[in-house]
Homo-oligomer: A and B are copies of this chain.
Amino acid sequence: MVETKVLLVGATGATGSSIIDGLFQAGNFEIFALVRPASMDKPVVEILRQRNVKIREGDLEGPEEVLTEALRGIDVLISSVRESATQQQDQISLANAAKRAGIKRFVPCGFGTITSPGGIMRVRDQKERVYNHVKQLWLPYTIIDIGWWYQIAFPRVPSGKVDYVSFGVAEEIIGGGNVLSALTDMRDIGHYVAKIIVDERTLNRMVFAYNTVITQNQIYNLMEEISGEKLERNYVADETIRDRVAQCRLLAEKDPTDLATLHSQLLAEHRLSWGVRGDNNPDYAKYLGYISSKELYPDFEPVDFRGYLKSVVEGKAKNVYIDDRSVVVEHATALEATR
């Protein structure tokens, strides 16, 4: 069997780690990771090497010719770069190099919730600029969004027994708490990716890969049922979210380089999109042109959300990909900062 050669940019991040796991489990891929010259000796890279990930040296901010060489012979290029200030736009030269290297499919950084470009979420608009650039290059692509993670979607319980895996970003219920939003277990991202990137039906398309659709009230109900504890429900009005977004945008305008502000903005805009507007659901995704993972892979059985919550309450959940889940931690920190 000829293995598909896949190179990851952002291999050590949360999404990248799930993708590497998913590709290894699928078994039909030769896996490469792009690593910055300065990071070649870092322990996380050593772990990749030990796992049989082939390391290629390259820098998104370096010359395009060098980047092009680093991509030689690769079939599928996947980018899961950080949603911080500049990394999304670094994908412009990555796309140029991919075109020059003859990459057969580029998966630019998506891996987020469903929303529309044009002023709702800064990070979505940054991604849109990358997508438009990819399209101008006539580069074969697939955009994959995955909704919100199981791992950050459940609230704490009074006994504190789920604190060991909680990031504290689900302690607010937005609006009436009845907006449907799509969730995916982080560990399933890689399984979806392994299917999608070798699927002709997904070429030059957007794919929405998600496990389940649920409201915040339903999540709280589930947690009460499973834990047997009564949860406090901290409802936050839509208007408060809108105000928070406006405030973050003002601050970001004053200092566009302040990472704490940018993270607060990201978090507030996420809530605006999935919590207030209700963007992050399969019907809206379909309207926007996404193909659904349910339609593509009806037989795939992702991790069940109730089962996951049960493992959380029983103390059996793991902080998956925690070592490098700095983005989540930053989100959590950013949330605190906006309070």
Contact = CB atoms under 8 A, between A and B. Distances in A.
Nearest to A117: B132
Contact of A138 (B119, B136, B284): B284
Given A138-B284, A284-B138, A289 B120 contact: no
A242 interface: no
Contact of A135 (B116, B129, B204, B205): B116
A118 B138 contact: no
Interface in A106-130: 116-120, 129
Interface in A40-98: none
Contacts of A116: 132, 135-136
Contacts of A120: 136
Interface centre among A204, A205, A287 (most CB of B within 10 A): A287
Contacts of A284: 138
A135 B118 CA distance: 9
Contacts of A117: 132
Interface residues of A, number: 17
Contacts of A250: none
A246 interface: no
A133 interface: yes
A263 B315 CA distance: 67
Nearest to A140: B287
Interface in A276-327: 284, 287-289
A118 B129 CA distance: 7
Contacts of A132: 116-119
Nearest to A136: B116
A203 to B, nearest CB: 9
Contacts of A133: 118
A204 B289 contact: yes
Nearest to A287: B204
Nearest to A130: B118
Interface string A10-41: 00000000000000000000000000000000
A289 B117 CA distance: 17
What 3 A-B pairs are tightest by C-beta distance, nearest first? A118-B132, A116-B135, A116-B136
20 contacts: A116-B132, A116-B135, A116-B136, A117-B132, A118-B129, A118-B132, A118-B133, A118-B135, A118-B136, A119-B132, A119-B136, A120-B136, A135-B287, A135-B288, A138-B284, A138-B287, A204-B287, A204-B289, A205-B289, A289-B289
